Amino acid sequence: MVIVVFRFRVKPQANLEELDALSQKMGALVSKIPGFLAVKDFSAQDGETVVIAEFDSLEAVDAWKAHPEHLTAQRRGREEFLADYRVQVCNLIRTSELTAKSGQ
């Protein structure tokens, strides 16, 4: 599994309605990429947003990175919406979990 962590802060003057619409569109689009598994986003009290996306392979991540509509969204993000950002692409080393079903 490959995990992409996208951390960003929004420009004070950014149009939040347009950013939300673009985020919704990208969420719908990434879900159609073969190898895409899941995505979640979180907002911190300091104004940073973190998006965590899971893919089954680096090839799936690369397909998403190179998707024409995603490239356009990336450009708009840099020009219109984002004050700063960082993208980290990580290989999963280990996982453990506790679920209500397993009790472990």
pLDDT given for residue 54 in this prediction: 98
Using N-to-C axis directions, what is the helix angle for 16-30 and 68-76, rounded to 10°?
160
Whether residue 96 is contained in a domain is answered as no
54-65 burial: b if 16+ Cβ within 10 Å, else e: bbeeeebbebbe
45 located within any domain: yes
Asked whether 50 and 3 are in contact (CB, 8 A), the reply is no
3-state SS, residue 99? coil
Is 99 contained in some domain?
A: no
Domain membership flag for residue 98: no
Tell me the pLDDT tens digit for each residue of 38-69.
999 999 999 999 999 999 999 999 999 999 99
Q: So what's the pLDDT on residue 99? A: 86
CATH number at residue 59: 3.30.70.100
Q: Could you tell me if residue 94 is inside a domain?
A: no
The whole-angstrom separation of Cα 46 and Cα 50 is 12
Query: Is 66 part of a structural domain of the chain?
Result: yes
* Biggest CA-to-CA distance, the chain: 48
pLDDT of residue 104: 54
Rounded Cα–Cα distance for residues 87 and 45 (Å): 20
Domain count, the chain: 1
Q: Can you give the residue range of the structural domain that contains 30?
A: 2-89
The model's pLDDT over 61-103, given as tens digits with 9 standing for 90+, comes to 999 999 999 999 999 999 999 999 999 999 999 999 898 875 5
**Averaged pLDDT for residues 20-31:** 96
Q: Is residue 97 part of a domain?
A: no
> pTM of this prediction?
0.88
Q: Would residue 38 count as lying in a domain?
A: yes
Q: What is the rounded average pLDDT of the residues 15-42?
A: 97
